[in-house]
Structure 1
């Protein structure tokens, strides 16, 4: 366990999407020497993510030690009937590890950890990360102004305008520097025993610059430089490196589940109007988001919606533009909201079952009495679900390979008071080689719109005093991280946690803790939704 000394007792370094597939070539070329040294002098292994293995569900699983059925976060979106919003910490039902530590008298500083906006009160300091607005409230109140006064500008997201690779690499590297500056400032000010520093852009670089390995190298090198500075300044006894999932190439197929379900008679569609279209994101569409100048957006929106009702959908327009070679030119002046006004959409109230969001990894059944306009009587639920499981289990790619390694009822993956918010049927792609999509198209299969995306195997490494470096981390699961961090402070894991203590440290028993206190919902910022659309995580509105 951690020693009693002047430096920080434990520092967690979060590398979003890090895995051996990504780290091995960086280690071989000596591009991240500080990170490599932690792996060399400690013990490391694969860290299996939960389902879904995406940022907004995986990081909360890591820092609470619970499955989404308990902590309540399944996706980038939270649903209320057929309506949705971007998730935040008001949806979080479980206590974070730094809150457990606070209750035991230990102070923490937390920088850039996803889904921590708005922050809850604890002994220490927190700057929220991914899904927060650009100028989020921090803990304590007014902290962000203090950080900016002390270290210069601080941003949650890269300030990248335009398409220039050099500019964008610099923007990503700059937010990495901000993370290191913020952590060291907060450590000096608050003198914490625990720190949690997360680097998100080591994931987003794959989405923003697919197939540009030099971008990955540039961002990881910046992260390694900051890690070296941070370790020198805070002198932690123990360092734990973790990721929420892995990253890899998707060079097989995109499977459009709603299109498949439409062809099978489960999904109904409509054209135009409000809702959550299953057309495409900015990244996987052929019309690109661009500045519209003095274009009358409202008039164009109305025109496209009218054309859609007449049967002229955006998909048809794109096919014509493709044939004429004009897609790029039109995309530079037509805003994505206009394109989406003409999109063919899933008609949620009229459908039997549908995919709400591709990163939920599953199908929701339109149950009468549960959904606002449900069509499936409760007594038919089991039959319809079994029928859909059988149908989807047998889906094969055009090459004859299985699309899914598992098609299961939600209770096979989720347990807890929030489980009913999950999909009814969980879809786990075979080795995460197939990219699932919620959009409608001419065919249920197509080329992947995301050439790089998430894999289930992340990574964990533990180095420092009191750590058994001979211990094997084989079989480590993301739920095990929070219990292990508590054990490093000689604290028992919470009885509600789904993971156990990794063998690098002795367990300290099990105990019940009080329920978490909820926080009020913050004012939403539309820019957060736009960023998620830009990165391909949600498929537009």
Structure 2
């Protein structure tokens, strides 16, 4: 009897907010086919809904308090220098380790935070956070030459910082690069599926995330920018890569036969960024953060240039060529200025600081054994946490008086597990992340509008679709699914027990009732963890990755 296989296909940033209308109108016919023949629903991301903790939750079935990934950088409570995370940063075993332990050959392609690639049975090609095309991104190592030859030169991630998408020519070049990147990844996926042994395969495609970060308001009719001249010129071209992705989905569906199950997931949803919340500026005004004097004027001038560039009036009055020149100067300065946010803080006098966009959280600057820090652990720290949380919830929009932050949590209210003390002390959600916290200094106001640029950011609801043996069909709607449920669901669908240290559980609503009754989930003691071999980035690799993360707006 042929053993069943399982494809867990990731679509980074995919959301039904745009995919479902396009499927309903026939723009994405294969997604429409899958939604009608299989089961589908929204998939709750981590809190906050950002790439590093989210994909790690998919792989481990655990909340960030157990897997220990909160950001693209390590926690300052672990290392004040905050190096970038690697595949070894996550605590515990991932899905492919568990399946390998059951004798299941596994393949992974471009899963974020998998560099350096792990030695698994059968293969791995690392994804986002890979330093570059010349790095060692394949296991076994000889696979790199094979994939490079197949694709004409493979690159694990796409550098969007070099594109000035305010100009049509650069916007079109960016979309061409997105398609080329997707085509090479799709070609590698088909080749590996056909040529390598596997029973579990996890490829991830980043196309939705990259486009939506730059162009969300051009594809969302609820925003005024949807109707602007550039949006009308570019919209069909923006949607074209999604059609390409849909065609790939059709090929995968046609290849399944009767022996392979397919599940599609995204790490988070998407929506438009309506306003920036300059959290460190706000903390400084509250008296909880102190600035270092060097560079303050330079930062203020740089930030004023950024604000002028985003102003609708400036965009209407200044010729396009001059606007493009200004943007080029800003991008050139951005790498040298925004990368040094930490250097703008006087750590001797600062009590709390905003760590960065991916974590949407505030850390206290605790005194440590190294003699650094400004806040004593214990009663002093707890009192400060309460004051900051109360002040966040009391924040009002200066023009409307409306509440800005609808929810704020202490880390222990969101997470549980041994890594929880490494998380930011306080998390917050501002208008469902339409108001986005950032760490940049230089603005004169804590809140700054962002409706004049087409940018978007993450939302909590991702996508879940599935078809295969034992899964419900006929367009069944699934509710209540979470990212942490994906690993347990895969294990259960493949006939294996779920380790009892996972926070998630198999998604009962996804399975036919008869299949669930005939094969109820089983728990087993969690296997002993094995720490991966630590491999830190070189200085050059670190700089290259930080530049790509800045282009996406993740690092400042």
Q: Same fold (TM over 0.5)?
A: yes
Match of 1:316 among 287, 295, 301: 301
Match of 2:108 among 83, 86, 110: 110
Secondary structure at the counterpart of residue 240 of structure 1: strand
The yes-or-no answer on 1:466 pairing with 2:483 is: no
**Map of 2:222 onto structure 1:** none
Q: Deviations over 1:66-92 (max 9, x none)?
A: 111111110122244442222221211
Q: How does 1:248-287 map to 2 (within 5 A)?
A: 248-251=271-274, 253-272=275-294
Q: 1:166 Cα deviation (Å)?
A: 2.5
Secondary structure at the counterpart of residue 63 of structure 1: helix
* Distance across 2 between alignment mates of 1:104 and 1:424: 38
| Contact 1:202/1:216 (<8 A) preserved | no
Q: 1:216 Cα deviation (Å)?
A: 4.2
* Distance across 2 between alignment mates of 1:338 and 1:191: 46
**Map of 1:75 onto structure 2:** 71
**Map of 2:421 onto structure 1:** 420
Match of 2:20 among 2, 20, 24: 24
Kindly tell me: are residues 45 and 210 of structure 1, through their superposed partners in 2, closer, same or farther at Cα, counting changes over 3 Å? closer
Kindly tell me: are residues 358 and 371 of structure 1, through their superposed partners in 2, closer, same or farther at Cα, counting changes over 3 Å? farther
**Map of 1:363 onto structure 2:** 362
* Distance across 2 between alignment mates of 1:53 and 1:391: 23
Aligned residue pairs, count:
497
**Map of 1:88 onto structure 2:** 86
The yes-or-no answer on 1:447 pairing with 2:452 is: no
* Distance across 2 between alignment mates of 1:181 and 1:342: 39
**Map of 1:481 onto structure 2:** 486
| Contact 1:313/1:342 (<8 A) preserved | no
Q: 1:119 Cα deviation (Å)?
A: 2.1
Q: 1:14 Cα deviation (Å)?
A: 0.8
| Contact 2:159/2:548 (<8 A) preserved | no
Between 1:133-142 and 1:32-41, the stretch displaced more is 133-142
Secondary structure at the counterpart of residue 359 of structure 1: coil
| Contact 1:394/1:402 (<8 A) preserved | yes
| Contact 1:483/1:500 (<8 A) preserved | yes
After superposition, the CA RMSD in angstroms is: 2.6
Q: How does 1:40-79 map to 2 (within 5 A)?
A: 40-79=36-75
Match of 2:270 among 247, 255, 273: 247
Kindly tell me: are residues 134 and 233 of structure 1, through their superposed partners in 2, closer, same or farther at Cα, counting changes over 3 Å? farther
In structure 1, runs of 5+ residues without a counterpart are 273-307
Q: 1:15 Cα deviation (Å)?
A: 1.0
**Map of 2:229 onto structure 1:** none
Q: Deviations over 1:476-528 (max 9, x none)?
A: 11110110000011111111111111012434311122213222214341211
Secondary structure at the counterpart of residue 383 of structure 2: helix
* Distance across 1 between alignment mates of 2:402 and 2:356: 24
| Contact 2:291/2:345 (<8 A) preserved | yes
Kindly tell me: are residues 349 and 490 of structure 1, through their superposed partners in 2, closer, same or farther at Cα, counting changes over 3 Å? farther
* Distance across 2 between alignment mates of 1:336 and 1:255: 18
**Map of 1:5 onto structure 2:** 2
* Distance across 2 between alignment mates of 1:528 and 1:391: 35
Q: 1:468 Cα deviation (Å)?
A: 2.8
* Distance across 2 between alignment mates of 1:418 and 1:342: 27
Q: Deviations over 1:388-434 (max 9, x none)?
A: 11121211223232222321110111222222221011112232221
Q: Deviations over 1:1-60 (max 9, x none)?
A: xxx537x61111111111210212221332222222112111111111111211111011
* Distance across 1 between alignment mates of 2:185 and 2:117: 17
Q: 1:118 Cα deviation (Å)?
A: 1.2
* Distance across 2 between alignment mates of 1:158 and 1:337: 17
| Contact 1:106/1:193 (<8 A) preserved | yes
Q: 1:371 Cα deviation (Å)?
A: 7.3
In structure 2, runs of 5+ residues without a counterpart are 165-169, 220-234, 309-313
Q: Deviations over 1:149-172 (max 9, x none)?
A: 234322112377654232221211
Between 1:401-410 and 1:452-461, the stretch displaced more is 401-410
Q: Which has the higher helix share?
A: 2
Q: How does 1:78-477 map to 2 (within 5 A)?
A: 78-80=74-76, 81-135=79-133, 136-158=136-158, 162-163=163-164, 164-213=170-219, 214=235, 215-233=237-255, 235=257, 237-251=260-274, 253-272=275-294, 308=295, 312-316=297-301, 319=304, 322=308, 329=325, 332-333=328-329, 335-340=333-338, 345-369=344-368, 373-379=372-378, 380-398=380-398, 399-440=400-441, 441-448=443-450, 451-469=455-473, 473-477=478-482
* Distance across 1 between alignment mates of 2:241 and 2:448: 31
**Map of 2:544 onto structure 1:** 527
Instruction: Tell me the TM-score normalized by structure 2.
Output: 0.83
Secondary structure at the counterpart of residue 495 of structure 2: coil
Between 1:414-423 and 1:28-37, the stretch displaced more is 28-37
* Distance across 2 between alignment mates of 1:332 and 1:430: 31
Q: 1:370 Cα deviation (Å)?
A: 6.4
Kindly tell me: are residues 320 and 118 of structure 1, through their superposed partners in 2, closer, same or farther at Cα, counting changes over 3 Å? closer
**Map of 2:11 onto structure 1:** 15
